[in-house]
Amino acid sequence: MDCEAPASGISAAGRAWLDSLPGAGGNEAEAALAALPRDAVSAGEDLPQVIGAWISADPAMAARLLEEWLATVGESAGWRPCFPVVCQWAERIAEKLPEADAFVERNLPGLARCIEGEFDRYDPKGTGLPHWPSPEEALFPEEQAEGVFTADLAVLLSNEARAFCRLARDRETEWGRVLDHVEGEQHELDTWLGQLFWDEADGVFLRLEEGGGRGLDDSPCVAVPLVWGGLSADMADGLHAREDQWDPSAWPVRARELLLALLLSTPHGRMTARVVSAPWPGDLPAAPAAVRTVLEATVRTATAGKFPAAVHWLEAHGKGLARAGWGAAVLLMVSLLAWGVFQRESVGPDDIEGLERRAFQASAEGRHDRAAALYGQAARRGHGAYYRYRQAGEWMRLGFHEEAEKVYRLLLEEEPGAPNPRWNLAVAVMKQGRRGEALALYRDLAEGPEAAAYPALAARARRAVELIERQMELDGGD
């Protein structure tokens, strides 16, 4: 991995990034790049946001820093600094490296320890409701209180799970147990975010209290769901409607820089611009000041290249179109829209990732029938077990429990101990009214030989057993 810098302190990749910057500000960006820490020790507690800045400017440097970070996982001194963004950064780095497979293969063991450590650290009781161990670790320390749960940490952990699953998907034989664990945690987090944290009627995210109470969350914590991989169109609209209420200049610099780095891969350009343009403190230490400048330059580059040539052509020739008459303009617009729809719906023979993205978006929009069809297409192109499992999940949401049950049983024939298909099989059987059979399935999850390997799942299975047994007693049997 070549990330050595010449005497000037800036590598060839960094120099190429500087040359790509539009307009003025190149000298400031060059000074910032030279000031960015180049090792984990120098970065200290700023390491997560330092890596976020290096990802765009020099992915190889970001990779080296990430590997230094991963090397601390499991050490007696603890994982420092603690922040759930490691897998997300690893995925973004891999997307930019020419030898991505080697990078992923080399770092998957550390990423696996990291993702499981994140769930142990932030959800030690396996409740599915993570919380910051201390205000100092939180993105927004002033918003944290005992027994209060905000959506920001759940979003970060859900994204971490998604990133790890995508990185490890082609290596199911080696990492199947971790994938099953992580997918189960992600499903539970997404359920909490969609059903408990989100108020669909008012279009707002809430904060939860330990006693079960819910209230409007008007803190900056609710800006974080903008980067959530499971964000639906309705959620995005609700968040955008509240953007003017947020004042990024009042946020902690660490939170602001991390959120800005996370927003770079999202379509939320207006919010990204707000985070960048709001006033910053004038006395930033060297590392945060360098991070801020590099991220600002990255945003400028992304904005400059955001619009395709067709849009620039329309901008340059708009008056001519108007003189030519509305009819021609409308015709052109219809053609552009048709081209966009064609591009969105067309998938090459090997574009499994494109099918997965479209399926996920369809599911987030509530179009579960469409999502199931897309997952079915993906299953026929490769990674059959993974996508059949996803397809069965969409069938469950549609109420097609019998069809989903068949898929889960087939998956368990291939891998009998897989915990998530076992859990979902019990749910599917229960949904069809076969309580006695469901009870046996839940009991096997709760008390079987694999229960110790999946304590959170076993705890949920025990609760299910108790509820079913109590209901059967009230009903006088099955």
Whether the pLDDT of residue 72 is over 90: the answer is no
Amino acid residing at 306: K
The lowest-confidence range among 16-20, 77-81, 394-398 is: 77-81
Average pLDDT of the chain, as a whole number: 82
Cα radius of gyration (the chain): 24
- C-alpha distance from residue 14 to each of 86, 106, 154, 177 (Å): 22, 24, 34, 39
Q: How confident is the model at residue 199 (pLDDT cuts 50, 70, 90)?
A: confident
Nearest to 190 by CA among 218, 165, 219: 165
How far apart are alpha carbons 116 and 379 in whole angstroms?
27
CA torsion 297→301→302→304, rounded to 10°? 130
Residue 337 has a pLDDT of: 38
- Express as a percent the part of the chain with pLDDT over 70: 84
Which residues, in sequence order, are bridge partners of residue 208?
149, 214
d(CA 322, CA 40): 57
The whole-model pTM stands at 0.65
CA 49 to chain centre: 17
Closest CA to 65 of 103, 98, 26: 103
Higher pLDDT, 83 or 340: 83
The distance in angstroms from the start CA to the end CA of the chain is: 63
pLDDT given at position 234: 86
Provide the 8-state DSSP code for 226.
G
Query: Could you check whether the bond before residue 288 is cis, i.e. omega within 30 degrees of 0?
Result: no
Q: Which CATH architecture has domain 12-304?
A: Alpha/alpha barrel (1.50)
- What per-residue confidence (pLDDT) applies to 181? 86
Candidates 40, 167, 169; CA nearest to 93 is 167
Question: Tell me, what's the pLDDT at 210?
Answer: 65
Q: Tell me the helix, strand and coil percentages in the chain, rounded to 5.
A: 70, 5, 25
Residue 24: its pLDDT value, please?
56
* Residue 425 confidence (pLDDT): 92
Contact present, 263 and 271 (Cβ < 8 Å): yes
Question: What burial class does residue 93 get, using C-beta atoms within 10 Å of its C-beta: 0-12 exposed, 13-18 middle, 19+ buried?
Answer: buried
Task: Give the integer Cα–Cα distance in Å for 167 and 173.
Answer: 13
What CATH number is given for 352-475 in this structure? 1.25.40.10
Domain boundaries, the chain: 12-304, 309-345, 352-475
What is the Cα–Cα distance from 333 to 144, expressed in whole angstroms?
49
Contact between 72 and 47 (Cβ < 8 Å) = no
Least Cα distance to 372 among 349, 351, 397 occurs for 397
